[in-house]
A and B are shown apart, each in its own frame.
Chain A
Amino acid sequence: MRLIAEALCGERGGEPVFGPVDFALGQSEALVVTGENGSGKSTLLRVVAGLLPSASGAVRLEGAEDEQVASAAHYLGHQNAMKTALSVNENLDFWRDFHGEPFLTNEEALDEVGLADLGHLPFGYLSTGQRRRVSIAKLLVSYRPVWLLDEPTAGLDARSERRFAALMAAHLEDGGIIVAATHIPLGIEGATSLVMGDR
């Protein structure tokens, strides 16, 4: 399975934001997208996910059942996509069911992010960092080979950052692909780097 972007350009409201960008990621490869604020990191991720149309160029997933990236990818955006009125378990159960391909149970996934005993709490009771960690646990409850991460460590403490780095390393070891936009070093070893806004 290879994630390939060819001469990819993105725009917002008719204004070009980035591009052209080329990359090709095989299994167990990661791409870390860095750049200044407004350089188009989030736009790149949304174009790759298929949430925004590309201005030109194309993204495809070679060697998968479906060439569309969306069907094989988890997208972790700025927001956590969790309902504050529902408990953590209810939120995770819903996303496992909606995304399909169940992977870890809620307990296992929450244990991986260090929130083992908080499944019964309403999501709204959690702190910012805990919410982010539940959102990361969402990546684990159903399996997708490609992870598209937009500022995944925003709000995390140093220990959780290390834990998340270990999770990403495990995902890459399993043959996954990661594209992460960040301005904080994520601690992924051997990741390709892409600097946006460098023209």
Chain B
Amino acid sequence: MLALFIRDIRLGIRAGGGALVGVLFFLAVVAVVPFGVGPDLNLLARIGPAMLWIGALLAGLLGLDRLFQADREDGSLDLLILGDTRHMLALTVFVKCLAHWTASILPLVVASPLLGLFMNMEPVAIFATSATLLAGTPAIAFIGAVGAAVAVALPRGGLLVSVLVLPLVIPVLIFGVSAAYGAANDPQPFLPPFLILCALTLFFAVIGPFAAALALKSASD
């Protein structure tokens, strides 16, 4: 399983893997916002956490459709499915999600404090946003795996995956942003939405791989 994790990270980082594309997209989305809404620093600071979250969410969805498709095209997916008797397929999916998160989404979390400065956010808000991204973005990968598995046989499934996945990641977005707001604005609480966010990630870490494994098994032809 460690070998699978290392292989997927290598594939993500090496040429054509697309891990950097996500960071660049994230950078582009967030860097454009101040130009769009104008030089109102208070407004920027207020919408900062939401913009970082939306940027990270869209960037996270970017490479998801390739999660299983690349393996299907070169025949690896058949062998991964056949490996079900040795390593449970859901566990294989879980490891692939973790590798995808580490290679493609973790760089977004790392880049988010820098982009928080662009948005004139206070240090505590920057820190809270990064913390919520760290806790919440794995859920995007786990939910996305289900969409990627359902659309694995479609040659142009990229947009379909995003549309399938988007309604399910809305709760993650809501609780992520409200926790980040709560940290910066005093009367609003930080801990309850943050804990719900963690719970969402844990919940989808279990449900997502199982659902994706079922979809992959029935999609093999």
What residues of chain A have their CB less than 8 Å away from a CB belonging to chain B? 12, 49-52, 66, 68, 70-71, 73, 75, 77-86, 90, 93-95, 97-100
Q: Are B85 and A85 in contact (CB under 8 A)?
A: no
Interface residues on B, range: 20 to 34
Nearest B residue to A96 by beta-carbon distance?
Answer: B3
Check B220 against A51 for contact (C-beta < 8 Å). Answer: yes
Please state if A85 and B11 are interface contacts (CB–CB under 8 Å): yes
A90–B76 CA distance with the chains assembled, in angstroms: 14
Which B82-103 residues have a C-beta within 8 angstroms of A? Answer: 82-87
When C-beta atoms are compared, the residue in chain A nearest to B2 turns out to be A97
On whether the beta carbons of A83 and B11 are closer than 8 Å, the reply is yes
Bound-state CA distance A93–B17 (Å) is 20
Chain A residues near B75 (CB, 8 Å)? Answer: 77-81
Of the candidates B15, B76, B86, B220, the one whose C-beta lies within 8 Å of that of A81 is B76
Chain B residues within 8 Å of A52, by CB: 220-221
Inside 8 A of A100's CB, which chain B residues have their CB?
Answer: 86
Q: Is B16 at the interface (CB under 8 A from chain A)?
A: yes
Helix, strand, loop or mixed for chain B's interface? helix
Q: B7 contacts A90, CB within 8 Å?
A: yes
29 contacts between A and B (CB under 8 A): A50-B82, A51-B78, A51-B82, A70-B82, A70-B83, A70-B85, A71-B85, A71-B86, A75-B82, A79-B75, A79-B78, A80-B75, A81-B78, A82-B74, A83-B7, A83-B74, A83-B76, A84-B74, A85-B11, A85-B15, A85-B17, A86-B7, A90-B7, A94-B4, A94-B7, A97-B2, A98-B79, A98-B80, A99-B86
Contact yes or no, A98 B82, CB < 8 A: no
Chain A residues within an 8 Å CB radius of B78: 49, 51, 75, 77, 79, 81
- A51 vs B76: C-alpha distance in the bound complex, in angstroms? 13
Tell me, in angstroms, the Cα distance from A86 to B9 when the chains sit together: 11
Instruction: Name the residue on A nearest B10 (C-beta).
Output: A86
Given pairs A79-B75, A82-B76, A83-B74, 15 additional interface contacts (CB within 8 A): A49-B78, A50-B82, A51-B78, A51-B82, A73-B82, A79-B74, A80-B74, A80-B75, A85-B16, A85-B17, A86-B10, A86-B11, A86-B14, A98-B4, A98-B80
A97 to B6, CA, bound (A): 11
Chain B residue contacts of A51, Cβ below 8 A? 78, 81-82, 220
Question: Contact check: which of A75, A79, A85 meets B14 at CB < 8 Å?
Answer: A85
CB closest residue in chain A, given B86: A100
Interchain CA distance A71-B85 in the complex, whole Å: 6
A71 to B4, CA, bound (A): 18
Kindly list chain B residues whose C-beta atoms are within 8 Å of the C-beta of A79: 73-75, 78
Cα of A75 to Cα of B78 in the assembled complex, Å: 8
**Which of A82, A84, A94, A98 has the largest count of B CB atoms less than 10 A from its CB?**
A98
- A81 touching B85 by the CB < 8 A rule? no
